[in-house]
Amino acid sequence: MYWLSVLIFLPLSGALVVGLTGRFSAASVRWIALAITVAELLIALGLWWSASPDSNGYLYIVQAPWIPIMGIQFLLGMDGLSLLLVLLTALLVPIAILVSWNSIRHNWPTFAALVLTTQAGIMGVFLALDLILFYVFWELMLVPMYFLIALWGHERRLYAAYKFFLFTVTGSLLMLVAILGLYFIHGEQTGIYTFNYFELLHTNLPGNTGMWLMLGFFVAFAVKIPLFPIHSWLPDAHTEAPTAGSIILAGLLLKTGAYGLLRFCLPLFPEASVDFAPFAMVLGVIGILYGALLALVQEDMKRLIAYSSISHLGFVVFGIYAWNQEGLHGAMLLMLAHGVTTSAMFAIIGMLEERVDTRLLPCMGGLLAPMPRMGAMLLLFTLSAMGMPGLANFVGEFLVLAGVYQVSAGLAIAGAMGVVASAIYLLWMYQRAMLGELSSEHAWSDLDHREMLILGLLAITVLWLGLYPAPFLNYLQVPASVIIELNTATLVGIEDALRRSD
């Protein structure tokens, strides 16, 4: 299916045309970018439509030689997990463009080109199955993001962009080392030097090597997720980025980290990951509680949501390393839910900032009266973020906790406390922003049609994910069971080894 390549190269070529020719006015660039991203969305929906959920393994595969002498291929594949994340990407990027419609005031062509390039990179990350190709896309999404933050961000944008770049590049270099290590070990063992994911799956890693290589991948992904000790880039980057940047960062870039764990870290190094799972879960639970606590005392709304992202992504890691049906399904679904919910929150904060001219909670209050529609929308997404049943995040969080409970009740209790804590900080945020006395008599306009369209789309998605997640869960059945088989196979392998040593 060459459509997979189209998913990547359509925005890339769009970015080249828009960014390099410089022939278009700002007004037409917006429409062109929107058209390209909507076309992406339609392609993604078409792929969803024509895919049958029961087919085993990969729904679509694209394979072409790239640098055959080194065993590098242009290998794209889409399974259920990639499909859902591609859909998420295809949904959120047009929304990011729509959100920036009026708020980006200078240099639209470059902005659009950067957004489209980022989209191409993210699509590539979710589709690539050749490790070098994956690495290329991994870096490809990083660079335009850096410029998005550094050129259109807020006050401390340069610092934030620099920090973001430094953290992620460090992580991804470690991943590159690990990729090469895996490549050579596999080559020595089998005589086939290749970066093909499917071939590398069967690498037999002796002793500690697996653990070290796994850690190389893990650090790269943990920076992106981000996990507790290496999260510090995220609040800065989220806060300083323009609204579209925050949406892409929170909605998509963070997901690439979790996706990497699911696609590469666990399947490539099952033994090492099994050993590492308890540590990862503890890191996850620290992230949940730490993020929730810090979110409580933030005064900048964007920063608050950034910390809440740390908390929510902690649940995702939690679910991934619980490594059972419920946990994995929950983690994958929570990735989608968090992407939609948090993007909507950032979009609303962007709209608020356009009107009120501040993101600081102490300067707001009573905004529900002049802007009832915005207040209602913010309430909806706030509720979703705090895990209200019937909305998106609940299903994910519930499944994650149900899965973790089977592994360790103590961790599940700690995670459940995170759910309570999320109610505390989110309601406190909502109250400070929307309720209470109105501070000034300024005449504020409520949401206009464009903004209602954005939030309406996201609201429908949130309700859909919350009330009828079955269509999405269907696609996750196969990827989840593949990963679970790895775990059981590992456990069986360990048992066999023990039996043999007896």
Partner 1 sequence: MSQFLWLIPGTPMLGALIIALLGGLLQRRHLAIMATCAAAIAFLVVLLTWLAGAATSQPLQQTLYTWIAVGDWNPTIGFILDRLALIMVSVVSGVGLLIHIYSISFMAEDSDQRRYYFFLNLFLAGMLILVLADNLLLLYLGWELVGLCSFALIGFWYHEPMRASAGRKAFITTRIGDMSLALGIFLLYSQFNDLSLSYLLANAAAQWEAGSQLAILTALLILGGAIGKSAQLPLQVWLPDAMAGPSPVSALIHAATMVTAGVYLIARTYPLFELAPHVQWSVAAIGAITIIYGASAALAQNDFKRILAYSTISQVGYMFLALGCGAYALALFHLVTHAFFKSLLFLAAGTVIHSSGNEHNIHNLGRLGNHSPLVRWSFLIGAASLAGFPLITAGFYSKEAILTATWSAPAGPLLWVFAAFGVLLTAVYIFRVYFLVFQGSQSSASMPSVSGSMTWPLLILALFSLIGGFVEFPEGWPAPHLWSTWLEDEFKSVVLPPLAIAYSLQFITSLLPLIGIVLAFVLVRRKQIGHSLPIIVFLRRGWGFDALYQTMLIQPYFSLARFLKNTDTLLVEGTLQKLTHACLIFATACRSGVEHGVLDKSINGLLAGLRFGYARLSATQNGLLTRYALMISAGAVFLLSYWLW
Provide long-range contacts, Cβ within 8 A and 24+ apart, for 40-46. Answer: 40/7, 40/10, 40/11, 40/90, 40/93, 40/94, 40/119, 40/123, 41/90, 41/91, 41/94, 43/3, 43/6, 43/7, 43/10, 43/90, 44/7, 44/86, 44/87, 44/89, 44/90, 45/87, 45/90, 46/3
CA distance 454 to 240: 22
Q: What is the dihedral of CA 314, 316, 321, 323, to 10 degrees?
A: 150
Residue 158 in the binding site for partner 1 (CB under 8 A): no
Nearer of residues 215 and 424 to partner 1, judged by Cβ? 424
Nearer of residues 87 and 421 to partner 1, judged by Cβ? 421
Of positions 412, 433, 454, 482, contacts partner 1 by CB under 8 A:
412
Of positions 57, 65, 390, 493, contacts partner 1 by CB under 8 A:
390
Element (H, E) at 62: strand 60-67
Q: Whole-number minimum distance, CB 351 to partner 1, in Å?
A: 19
Q: Whole-number minimum distance, CB 1 to partner 1, in Å?
A: 27
Nearer of residues 192 and 489 to partner 1, judged by Cβ? 489
Nearer of residues 5 and 325 to partner 1, judged by Cβ? 325
DSSP state of 249: I
CA distance 337 to 160: 26
Residue 398 in the binding site for partner 1 (CB under 8 A): yes
CA distance 497 to 53: 37
Of positions 61, 211, 424, 457, contacts partner 1 by CB under 8 A:
424
Residue 428 in the binding site for partner 1 (CB under 8 A): yes
Of positions 401, 447, 454, 462, contacts partner 1 by CB under 8 A:
401
Residue 20 in the binding site for partner 1 (CB under 8 A): no
Only one of the segments 82-90, 103-111, 176-184, 422-430 lies at the binding site for partner 1 (rule: CB under 8 A); that segment is: 422-430
Q: Whole-number minimum distance, CB 82 to partner 1, in Å?
A: 19
**Cis bond leading into 226, ω under 30°?**
yes
CA distance 232 to 352: 25
Is residue 472 within 8 Å of 84, Cβ to Cβ? Answer: yes
Q: Could you tell me how many residues of this chain bind partner 1 (CB under 8 A)?
A: 53
CA distance 491 to 408: 17
Q: Whole-number minimum distance, CB 282 to partner 1, in Å?
A: 17
SS (H, E, C) 95-126: HHHHHHHHHCCCCHHHHHHHHHHHHHHHHHHH
Buried b (16+ CB within 10 A) or exposed e, 64-80: eeeeeeebbbbbbbbbb
CA distance 32 to 253: 24
Binding mask of the shown chain, residues 456 to 475, with x at each position contacting partner 1 by CB under 8 A: -----------xxxx--xx-
Residue 420 in the binding site for partner 1 (CB under 8 A): yes
Percent helix, percent strand, percent coil in the chain, to nearest 5:
80, 5, 15
CA distance 338 to 348: 15
Binding mask of the shown chain, residues 233 to 262, with x at each position contacting partner 1 by CB under 8 A: ------------------------------
Nearer of residues 39 and 417 to partner 1, judged by Cβ? 417
Residue 494 in the binding site for partner 1 (CB under 8 A): no
Of positions 16, 61, 277, 435, contacts partner 1 by CB under 8 A:
435
Q: Whole-number minimum distance, CB 352 to partner 1, in Å?
A: 17
Residue with tokens 């979790």: 258
User: 3-state class of 63 per DSSP?
Assistant: strand
Tokens found for residue 377 = 């929308």
Binding mask of the shown chain, residues 302 to 341, with x at each position contacting partner 1 by CB under 8 A: -----------------------xx--x------------
Of positions 17, 416, 452, 457, contacts partner 1 by CB under 8 A:
416
CA distance 400 to 394: 10
Nearer of residues 87 and 292 to partner 1, judged by Cβ? 292
Residue 51 in the binding site for partner 1 (CB under 8 A): no
Q: What's the one-letter identity of residue 324? A: N
Binding mask of the shown chain, residues 349 to 388, with x at each position contacting partner 1 by CB under 8 A: -----------------x-xx--x---x--x---x----x
Nearer of residues 280 and 412 to partner 1, judged by Cβ? 412
Q: Whole-number minimum distance, CB 412 to partner 1, in Å?
A: 6
Q: Whole-number minimum distance, CB 64 to partner 1, in Å?
A: 36
Binding site for partner 1 (CB under 8 A): 229, 231-232, 290, 293-294, 296-298, 325-326, 329, 366, 368-369, 372, 376, 379, 383, 388-390, 394-395, 398-399, 401-402, 405-406, 409, 412-413, 416-417, 419-420, 423-424, 427-428, 431, 434-438, 467-470, 473-474
